[in-house]
Amino acid sequence: MAARSQPDAAVEAHPAARVLVTVEGLPPGRFTALVAGEITEGSLARLRRSLTAALDSSSGGLDLDLSDVGFCDITGLHLLLELRARATATGRSLSVTALSPALLRLLRATGCAGRLIGTDAAAAGSLLVTAELRRALAATGTPWSAARWAPGDCLRIRIHGDAATVTWPVARGSAGAGAEQVLYEAVASALHRAGLHSVRHRAAQARSVRSALFGPRGLTRTRRA
């Protein structure tokens, strides 16, 4: 059963729904997307492009963490059903692994809960990763508004074995070096708690990569590679 959670109060409100984080490389060939904001007709086109691309990039299917979706109208529900049909037609699956109370009420009222809410144990890994990321980012109390990112861009995480590479969107404006470091460490710590041993940070347009290496007690050192 998908986890139900309240939207994180410390994460800034996003009026229009968008994909904030994607995670690639989870077994068995699944892609995960963390969505936040209000899913309405106005936000539908961009969200459809992002989620369709995520689904098509996977071999096993797409898991959606919708915990921070504060509102979803009927057009948003149609999008979820459309993505599910596309996944099924290509031998993959779509699973909502976590959702907000508002979205749960909509799915139950329309009889779609059983069709969309994930029960597959294969989705457990993606839920663990996104839950840790949401918790860590909310706990920092640091502004990380996606409004600073280019439209359609998001935080991209690729998992390979017990390591992860985090590609940060190019920000418009600056939150300051200190705030940036807090976010880097929050994301790295979240991925460590989810079972990953090393995390490499890179900017979308940068050649250098910053590696955060962990020991049994957490973050031990950070370096540029």
Share of the chain above pLDDT 70, in %: 73
Burial class (CB in 10 A: 0-12, 13-18, 19+), 28: exposed
Q: Does residue 147 lie in a domain region?
A: yes
Burial class (CB in 10 A: 0-12, 13-18, 19+), 30: buried
Give the pLDDT confidence score for residue 225 in this predicted structure: 40
Considering its fold, how many domains does the chain have in total? 1
Domain of 65: which CATH number? 3.30.750.24
pLDDT in tens, 5-16: 544 443 444 468
Q: Does residue 118 lie in a domain region?
A: yes
Closest CA to 158 of 184, 129, 132: 129
Give the pLDDT confidence score for residue 134 in this predicted structure: 84
| Mean pLDDT score, 176-195 | 81
Q: Do 34 and 146 touch, CB atoms closer than 8 A?
A: no
Residue 34: pLDDT band with limits 50, 70, 90: very high
Give the pLDDT confidence score for residue 15 in this predicted structure: 67
| Mean pLDDT score, 129-155 | 72
| Mean pLDDT score, 139-149 | 58
Q: Does residue 193 lie in a domain region?
A: no
Q: Does residue 208 lie in a domain region?
A: no
Q: Does residue 201 lie in a domain region?
A: no
How far apart are alpha carbons 225 and 65 in whole angstroms? Answer: 32
pLDDT in tens, 45-65: 999 999 999 999 999 999 999
pLDDT, mean over the chain: 79
| Mean pLDDT score, 205-212 | 52
Q: Does residue 58 lie in a domain region?
A: yes
Q: Does residue 209 lie in a domain region?
A: no
Range of the domain at 44: 3-175
For 190-196, the CB contacts below 8 A with 24+ separation are 190/129, 190/132, 190/133, 190/135, 190/136, 190/137, 191/129, 191/132, 191/133, 191/157, 191/164, 191/166, 192/218, 192/219, 193/132, 194/128, 194/129, 194/132, 195/128, 195/162, 196/159, 196/162, 196/163, 196/164
Helix axes 124-140, 177-193, angle to 10 degrees: 150
Q: Does residue 185 lie in a domain region?
A: no
The residue that leads in pLDDT, 42 or 179, is: 42
Extended beta strands in the chain, E state: 3-4, 18-26, 30-39, 61-72, 93-99, 155-160, 163-168, 198-203, 209-215, 218-224
